[in-house]
């Protein structure tokens, strides 16, 4: 890539040039980290070959502890080596079995992921949202479906394994008799492709584009102009909407990027199914969950894939997902 970037005609294709430069910068950063760690290890090795007094031994112990922390921090680079791990992500959450409680569960998951992304320094922007009924306790308004994009380094790599069904058990805030209720929501995570990316080609004749007015909670109109856009991919029937931008053109562009990501995921899913000979049609209901969040009669969050668990669900729902996400990254690392 460095050789390619020195070619006099490198910038004849600006999009290709920008992509190579971005990838080259990321690789150089990784190499720099590795070289720095190697240098520190060699330095400590040389010190250990000397006759040391107690003070020097304590200083080396301190250096080793700091080095261990740096290695652990950068260890994830080994696992985040998937082809699309560096990309931004598109996350979607859909309410499943459980009615109004499940719509409230989607709102709780949205907050959890927004908090996690905030802690990681990622930028989050809602693309489309469909609200549930208004009038819940404390004015709570649930969410039937939400789509949002997450921008930041390795956003997709960190979040991709959150895809699946999430199950909540609690005393329902919507039950007059304080009954225990089980709710389900399905999370989907896709790598975000730009319109220029060549992974999937969108043909104009395959698309149907509609415009409508964006609305807020309870169906209230938040825009008098028809700036929201709905794009339907006719061959597959996939529909994508966007109402976050002020202009129709920007909403259409964002809807097209989400559609492109969805079509790519279908393509990849078919490839994986062909390799494994299996089909995944899991719905947001009992028995398909990847993670259980129990608030009553006891407190526990447990991942069914890694067996990572904690008795502090409040912290998890406040965005403290690192332990779960890192375990999933290591379990599903690219060989």
- pLDDT at residue number 25: 87
Distance CA 45, CA 194 (A): 47
DSSP string, 219-246: G-BS-SS--EEEEEETTTTEEEEE-SSS
Weakest mean pLDDT among 5-19, 78-92, 188-202, 232-246: 188-202
- Give a yes or no: residue 84 inside a domain: no
DSSP secondary structure letter of residue 202: P
Question: Among 17-21, 76-80, 252-256, where is mean pLDDT lowest?
Answer: 76-80
* pLDDT tens, residue by residue, 233-258: 999 999 999 988 888 999 999 999 99
> Who contacts 13 (Cβ-Cβ below 8 Å, separation ≥6)?
none
Cis preceding linkage at 297, omega within 30: yes
pLDDT value at 136 more than 90: no
Q: Which domain holds residue 301?
A: 89-331
pLDDT value at position 284?
57
Give the CATH number, domain containing residue 104: 3.30.70.1660
In this structure, are 41 and 111 located in the same domain? Answer: no
Q: Is residue 243 domain-shared with residue 297, that is, in the same domain?
A: yes
Q: Is residue 315 part of a domain?
A: yes
Contact call for residues 101 and 167 (beta carbons, < 8 A): no
For residues 115 and 66, membership in a common domain is answered with no
* pLDDT, tens digit (0-9, with 9 covering 90-100), for 274-289: 766 544 455 555 567 9
* Domain end residue (candidates: 26, 44, 74): 74
Listed in sequence order, the residues at least 6 apart from 66 whose beta carbon sits closer than 8 Å to its beta carbon are none
Mean pLDDT of the chain: 87
| Whole-number pLDDT of residue 286 | 55
Domain co-membership, 149 together with 31: no
Please indicate, yes or no, whether residues 256 and 305 belong to a single structural domain of this protein: yes
- Per-residue confidence band for 219, with pLDDT thresholds at 50, 70 and 90: low
What pairs with residue 208 in β-bridges?
A: 232
Q: Does the predicted model carry a pTM greater than 0.85?
A: no
User: Quick one: 28 and 51 in the same domain?
Assistant: yes
pLDDT at res. 76? 73
Residue 98 lies in a domain: yes
Q: Is 8 strand, coil or helix?
A: coil
Tell which of 11, 40, 74 closes a domain.
74
Report the C-alpha gap between 195 and 290 in whole angstroms: 32
DSSP type of residue 199: S
- Counted residue by residue, the chain has a size of 335
Residues 53 and 108 in one domain: no
**For residues 303 and 309, is the Cβ–Cβ distance under 8 A?**
yes
Q: Are residues 175 and 318 in the same domain?
A: yes
- Do 190 and 242 fall into the same domain? yes
Average pLDDT over every residue of 173-191: 91
Residue 79: CB atoms within 10 Å = 17
Query: Which long-range contacts (C-beta less than 8 Å, at least 24 apart) are formed by 214-217?
Result: 214/243, 215/131, 215/243, 216/131, 217/131, 217/134, 217/141
Residues 32 and 95 in one domain: no
Rg (CA), the chain: 24
* Contact partners, residue 187, CB within 8 Å, separation at least 6: 91, 92, 93, 109, 162, 163, 164, 165, 166
Q: In angstroms, rounded to a whole number, what is the distance separating the alpha carbons of residues 117 and 115?
A: 5
Structural domains counted in the chain: 2
**Higher pLDDT, residue 282 or 328:** 328
Provide the pLDDT for residue 216.
66
Is residue 222 in a domain? yes
Query: What is residue 279's predicted lDDT score, i.e. its pLDDT?
Result: 45
Same domain, 10 and 110: no
Residue 196 lies in a domain: yes
The dihedrals phi and psi of 264, each to the nearest 5 degrees, come to -65, -40
Domain finish residue from 74, 106, 134: 74
The set of residues, in sequence order, having a beta carbon less than 8 Å from that of 311 and lying 6+ positions away, is: 298, 299, 300
Cβ(160)–Cβ(91) under 8 Å? no
Q: Within this chain, do residues 284 and 310 fall inside the same structural domain, yes or no?
A: yes
Q: How far apart are CA 138 and CA 2, in angstroms?
A: 58
């Amino acid at each position: 890539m460095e050789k390619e970037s020195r070619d006099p005609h490198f910038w004849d294709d600006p999009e290709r040039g920008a992509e190579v430069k971005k990838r080259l910068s990321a690789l150089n950063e990784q190499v720099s980290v590795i070289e720095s760690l190697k240098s520190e290890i060699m330095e400590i090795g040389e010190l250990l070959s000397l006759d040391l007094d107690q003070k020097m031994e304590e200083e080396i112990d301190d250096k080793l502890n700091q080095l261990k922390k740096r290695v652990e921090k950068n260890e994830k680079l080994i696992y985040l080596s998937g082809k699309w791990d560096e990309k931004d992500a598109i996350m979607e959450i859909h309410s499943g079995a459980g009615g109004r409680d499940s719509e409230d569960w989607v709102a709780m998951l949205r907050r959890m992921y927004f908090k996690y992304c905030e802690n990681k320094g990622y930028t989050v922007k809602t693309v489309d949202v469909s609200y549930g009924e208004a009038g819940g306790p404390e004015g709570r308004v649930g969410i039937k479906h939400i789509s949002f994009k997450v921008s930041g380094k390795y956003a997709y790599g960190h979040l991709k394994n959150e895809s699946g069904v999430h199950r909540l058990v609690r005393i329902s805030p919507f039950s007059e008799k304080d009954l225990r209720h089980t709710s389900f929501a399905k999370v989907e995570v896709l790598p975000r492709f730009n319109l220029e990316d060549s992974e999937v080609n969108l043909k104009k004749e395959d698309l149907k584009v509609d415009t409508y007015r964006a609305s807020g909670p309870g169906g209230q109109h938040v825009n008098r102009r028809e700036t929201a856009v709905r794009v339907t991919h006719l061959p597959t029937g996939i529909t994508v909407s966007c109402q976050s931008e002020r202009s129709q053109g920007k909403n259409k562009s964002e809807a097209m990027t989400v559609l492109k990501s969805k079509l790519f995921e279908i393509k990849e899913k078919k490839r994986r199914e062909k390799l494994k000979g299996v089909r995944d049609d899991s719905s947001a209901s009992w028995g398909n969950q990847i993670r259980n969040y129990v608030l009553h009669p006891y407190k526990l969050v447990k991942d069914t894939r890694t067996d990572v668990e904690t008795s502090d669900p409040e912290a998890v729902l406040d965005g403290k997902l690192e332990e779960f996400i890192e375990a999933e990254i290591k379990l599903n690392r690219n060989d």
